[in-house]
Amino acid sequence: LPSATYRTADGAELKLAELKGKVVLVNVWATWCPPCVAEMPSLNRLQSARGGNDFQVITISLDKTREEAAQFFDRYGLDKLDPWHDGTYGLSGNLNLRGYPTTVIYARDGYEIARLHGEAEWDSEEALALVDYLVGR
């Protein structure tokens, strides 16, 4: 799990390394990216359906400001996710991302186990089955 600190518009802080022990789906996105915007509601529904002690969806925005992601979440009723922001803009390089959106899944031990470049339906039957398998349900 990356060691950087991410923040929300209201100043909350997150270090992904603190989530060790959970399966973590990290989605790197931006409000100016149409495929990112398209998949965000399904990520919200995935967090609603499977989020908890064993699994968590983390979305990290690469927008210019923290407020852009927060306003987007408010506008579209994305109430199960927190609008985290990478203020260093180093996440893309650290993860060697080829484009957006990119989703990286980390196992409980903090190591990457899966990566998807591009948009997905994260609340589809297949995606839910994958999450269930990864958390051992």
Question: What average pLDDT score do residues 110-130 get?
Answer: 95
Looking at residue 50, what is its pLDDT?
97
Note the pLDDT tens digit of each residue in 1-47. Answer: 777 889 888 888 988 889 999 999 999 999 999 999 999 999 999 99
Quote the pTM value: 0.93
Task: Determine contact, residues 12/82, Cβ cutoff 8 Å.
Answer: yes
Where are the alpha helices (H) located in the chain, listed in sequence order? Answer: 34-50, 66-75, 91-94, 125-135
Looking at residue 58, what is its pLDDT?
95
CA separation for the pair 108, 97 (Å, rounded) = 22
